[in-house]
Amino acid sequence: MLLMVLTINISLDSCGTITIGAAVAELNSECPQDMGDGITMTKSELVDGNWIITASAPTLETTLVDFMKPAMTDYVKSNAEMSKLLKETNTTLVYRFECSDGTADVKVAPSDL
């Protein structure tokens, strides 16, 4: 269910590269975006060297988000463009879920890739 939130496509420019700022801005321009199952991606931003993607998930509890961390990390690893971008810019990707019982973050650091 949460893997739907992970589907982040970044468009490469004609040289086959994209900056972290452009990727963040591109994703933010698509917000708010209904991801299904009551989850809405609300914003994408750079904060203190972290790329934070926030999703409103009022039907989920934080324990479910914690449970999904390995699958979410594996997804980012399997996305070659995103992994490369995060490693090259030394940026941690943070999926922030605003759940029914609080906020849960799933962090994917460059060292995880």
Domain boundaries, given as residue ranges, for the chain: 35-112
Residue 28 CB-half CA count within 13 A: 12
Task: Using DSSP bridges, classify how beta strands 39-47 and 50-57 pair: parallel, antiparallel or unpaired.
Answer: antiparallel
Alpha helices (H) along 1-113: 3-6, 20-28, 62-67, 69-78, 80-89
CATH number of 35-112: 3.30.300.250
Residue type, 19: T
Q: What is the pTM of this model?
A: 0.83
pLDDT digits 0-9 by tens, 66-94: 788 888 888 888 888 888 889 989 999 99
Tens-digit pLDDT profile for residues 21-35? 888 888 888 889 888
The angle at the Cα of 90, spanning 24 to 106, to the nearest 5 degrees, equals: 65
